[in-house]
Chain A
Amino acid sequence: MNKKKFKILAIVDAVIIVALFIVMFTLKGQYNEQAQTSVKEQVGAYQETANGLLQEQWKSVDQYGMAWKLIFTTLTGNKTEASFNAAVKAIEGDKEARFKQLSYTFTAAGIPPKVQNDINEKGGLADKFLLKDEKGVKEVACGKNCVITFTFAKGKLKSSDYKALVEYNMAENFKLEAPATFHFE
């Protein structure tokens, strides 16, 4: 190649280098923003899933505690339908007692009060307790996928079935999936 051709090559190279630097700095900003957005979105989505599960467990333990309290109150009371109905209302309505019982269970499990308060503030207590009340048959929520039944005949307790609660396996009902692989979108 002669001198002129090398000169042209050098000029073209110089132009390409300048162009590449411009592309590089433009992409740098884009990639940086893209990376931050992707991480924020995907981390946020996973944390939302995890926090959602903790809130669901919190509510479930609330139902669980209320259910046991109701069983004990019913078995030690006069076993009438009227007393049962009053107990359901009293237990569900006493949110302070529910939180106390719930918090005691979480504290016994080694969960610090700050974490308990965070979960409670975001999710709150359970909003369902008495699920069904038809012709003397009462179904009560006792946790996620847990229902106990009380049957009344002529206003008196005929039978109580709380086997589901005795056999309740919370670990099986609450499993957090490991985080998915990161996608740079």
Chain B
Amino acid sequence: MNIKTIAIALTVLVVAVLATVLMQKGNYVSQATEHYEKTTTNTFKGSSKIIEYVSNSIDQNKLVWALACDAVQSVKTSQDMAKLEAKYFPTTKGSNSLSKKTRRFEATSAYFIVSSFDKVDEDKKTQLKTLSGLNSIDVSALLGQVAAAAPAEEVEGEGEEYVEE
């Protein structure tokens, strides 16, 4: 191998090494960007899910509270209660328990109220039995004083998504 070949080979090598030097920053940027995007996207998705699920749950919760607060001011009979339920929840109906003299309205398995009445009335013509004399409304479920009902869907893996600061 003569000196000419060696010189040319080394020149080519210089160009190759120079290109590597120039490109190495790009590689680090690319790796860092990939890691950043993966991590922040997980955080974004996890946190957004929590915010969304809680907001949706609150949308149900507030209507049950509004129903209960409206009811204590205006309801006298189970029929009044049924009308009020239909106002806030057009597709969900409560149910009476004549033996307990209560009416239970369940918006979801977690959010429900139980209204207690003084007596059972019977329409002599139709023999339809209703409750009258609203006594109290039990909002224990809205105050978290009952065993928590299993949610329909649980946020997956957000234990990892909620990152310690």
Contact = CB atoms under 8 A, between A and B. Distances in A.
Interface string A125-169: 000000000000000000000000000000000000010011011
Interface string B1-28: 0111011001101100110110011001
Interface in B112-165: 136-137, 139, 141-146, 148-149, 151-155, 158-159, 162-165
Contacts of B28: 31-32, 34-35, 184
Contact of B14 (A20, A36, A111): A20
Contacts of B154: 110-112
A178 B41 CA distance: 8
Interface in B39-77: 39-41, 43-44, 46-48, 50-59, 61-62, 65-66, 68-69, 72-73
Contacts of B68: 72
Interface in A1-50: 1, 3, 6-7, 9-10, 13-14, 16-17, 20-21, 23-24, 27-28, 31-32, 34-36, 38-39, 42-44, 46-48, 50
Contacts of B6: 6, 10
Contact of A174 (B55, B73, B139, B155): B55
Contacts of A76: 72, 136-137
A71 B51 contact: no
Given A51-B163, A97-B143, A110 B153 contact: yes
A118 B159 CA distance: 9
A112 B3 CA distance: 73
Dominant secondary structure of chain B at its interface with chain A: helix
Interface residues of B, number: 74
Interface of B: 2-4, 6-7, 10-11, 13-14, 17-18, 20-21, 24-25, 28-29, 31-33, 35-37, 39-41, 43-44, 46-48, 50-59, 61-62, 65-66, 68-69, 72-73, 108, 110-111, 136-137, 139, 141-146, 148-149, 151-155, 158-159, 162-165
The 6 closest A-B pairs by CB, nearest first: A104-B144, A13-B10, A179-B40, A109-B57, A108-B110, A110-B151
